[in-house]
A and B are shown apart, each in its own frame.
Chain A
Amino acid sequence: MSKVNTVRKRVAKAAITGMGQSTFSREPGSSPRALALQACIAALADRSATVDMIDGLLLNRSPIEPSEVLPLHLKRDLGLGDLSLLASIEAEGSSAVQMIQYATLVIEAGGASNVLCVFADAPVRRAGAGKTYSGSMDLTGLSGWDACNGLLGSVGAFAMSAQRYFHVYGADSRDLYAVAAAERAWGSLNEKAFLRDPLEEDAYFNSRWIVEPLRLFDCAYPINGAIAVIVSSLDEVDNCPKPPAYLHAFGQGHSGARHFAGHDPETQTGAEIASAKLLEAIGGTPALFDYCELYSPFTITSFLALEGYGLCLPGEAPDLVNSGATKPGGALPVNTGGGHLSSYYLQGMTPVHEAVIQARGEGGARQVPKNDIGLVTGFGGRMEYHSAMTISPHREL
């Protein structure tokens, strides 16, 4: 992909100066609150920070969990003192990037200096993680209607999108396999990825249908865990032990498309709106991005995100992925830790976590060759709700 340098000199708005994670596990038992505590302590250690440096705390729990699993009382668990920012952010899978955006906005306005942002979830229970995600996504818009007609679970809702995508653009399961294989190739290089063996074509096609046309290996790999980051003002970055990951631009987009003739919310998502906002903020084109960390819990969502964020034209994402561009060694590395499919599914924090690793240059065997500007995305619902940001090792772009 050729690069068009349309960037004006831009100073970052804030930086991620610390990051920590809890234990990651497929075993039931841990609670989001306990995992969040672990991740926050790890983030403080990563930053060499003491709790008295933290003046803001933002929380994000899974949208399908009640508020008590990650309460504002986490502030007390951490022994934090007086804060000037405290909130729980709830915008489904777009929340992680939104937390970082709101932290940045408050920091820019002088309202805080070091804001701890944490996501924690424990979807793996005795009944299995699939059961956790078996609720209705209410596509029709009539209470209880979809559940009665068996349209349950996020897999079913995204299978509807995949079928529609196949129809509109002529793609098929081989294209979905290309996504799963590319992300697995990245996962193979990530020692923290849960699925690391190369994904052979037979293994993919022999994996069981969950909701046709989506198979087991089209779906995210849920774990129990938490990730925290510290978003800091530029005045706070000088004495960080780790290289700061600078934040220059954000964009949200929440699609108003309806389930009505003339609209196609299955293939036209809030990503297009978020992308326009982000590019307006950074003053460039999608060719700016050296690599992408996409919120993509299903193979089909990688196509929709690549197209929605303008990395290729509508319908061309299968060609882009089949060309090898998104896998290790390719021109546009995507989901370089293995993504939701092969590394671990911690909603919006999976892409944020990997982006910070890449921006710091700590990717090891999977470090991207060029990390000047990374694209980080998050989405919720069936891709209605989007948030995106840039990440860079450079204070000025």
Chain B
Amino acid sequence: MPRDESANSIADDDPFSGKIRQLAETGLLCCLQCSNSCGIVDYAARICPKCAGPLEIVETKGAGEIYSFVVYHTKYAPELDPPYTTIFVELEEGCRLSALLEDNGSGPPSIGDPVKFQRSQNGKIWFSLN
């Protein structure tokens, strides 16, 4: 069952989380790649799973598709009023991340729908359907 992590906290010993969020706020959605050219890795990795080498932050195209999604009907997040749609996006680069889906009034999305990174504000990451 879940770990109890306080919302919005960034661990001091995490070299990537804060930086990636800062860059997102400037309009650059980034991910992690191996410094030894093994390629892009998942966001949870802190060393390259192939060569154990260091990782570096690299810009993504900000495009991907919906891997899964849910609609919150219960108040969980202090800054978000239900209903809201949280998606798990698989970026073209291969890594997956959670994000909020902008409401375009057309109802719930489908898995596989193409989505694009729009903006980030106060840590929230907004994607929209293409």
Contacts and interface: CB of A to CB of B under 8 A. Distances in A.
Q: Do A and B come from one complex?
A: yes
Interface of A: 62-64, 92-93, 130, 133-157, 159-161, 163-164, 167, 208-213, 258-262, 266, 297, 347, 380-381
A261 B7 CA distance: 27
Most B Cβ at <10 Å: residue of A145, A154, A381: A145
Interface string B69-106: 11111101100100110101010001111111000000
Contact of A261 (B5, B18, B72, B90): B90
A39 B124 CA distance: 45
A380 B2 CA distance: 8
A211 B71 contact: yes
Contacts of B41: 260
A167 B125 CA distance: 24
A157 B68 CA distance: 10
Contacts of A145: 17, 21, 43, 97-98, 123, 125
B98 to A, nearest CB: 4
B50 interface: no
A145 B100 CA distance: 11
Given A143-B18, A149-B98, 5 more contacts: A138-B44, A145-B97, A147-B8, A152-B7, A212-B71
Interface centre among A62, A143, A146, A156 (most CB of B within 10 A): A143
A210 B69 contact: no
Nearest to B93: A261
**Top 10 A-B residue pairs of the complex, sorted by shortest distance between their CB atoms:** A141-B44, A148-B123, A261-B94, A209-B73, A147-B7, A143-B17, A212-B71, A152-B76, A159-B70, A259-B96
A211 B5 contact: no
A130 B74 CA distance: 10
Contacts of A155: 74
Given A64-B4, A297-B1, A148 B76 contact: no
B4 A210 contact: no
B5 A135 contact: yes
A140 B44 contact: yes
B1 A259 contact: no
Given A259-B95, A259-B96, A148 B88 contact: no
B117 interface: no
B70 A154 contact: no
B64 to A, nearest CB: 10
A39 B111 CA distance: 46
Given A142-B17, A156-B76, A164-B111, A136 B69 contact: no
A300 B122 CA distance: 33
Contacts of B99: 149
Interface residues of B, number: 52
B43 A140 contact: yes
A63 B70 contact: no
B2 A137 contact: yes
B56 interface: no
A64 B80 CA distance: 23
Given A153-B76, A160-B70, A142 B125 contact: no
Interface string B2-14: 1111011111001
B44 A259 contact: yes
A144 B68 contact: no
Contacts of B129: none
B21 A142 contact: yes
B73 A210 contact: yes
17 contacts: A64-B2, A133-B1, A139-B88, A142-B16, A142-B43, A143-B10, A144-B21, A147-B77, A148-B123, A148-B124, A150-B80, A150-B100, A211-B71, A212-B71, A212-B72, A212-B73, A381-B1
Nearest to A210: B74
Nearest to B125: A149
Nearest to B5: A136
A161 B125 CA distance: 21
A62 B1 contact: yes
B119 to A, nearest CB: 13
A150 B67 contact: no
Interface string B102-114: 0000001001100
A209 B75 CA distance: 11
B70 A148 contact: no
Contacts of A149: 86, 98-100, 123-125
B45 to A, nearest CB: 7
Contacts of A212: 70-73, 83, 108
Contacts of B73: 208-212
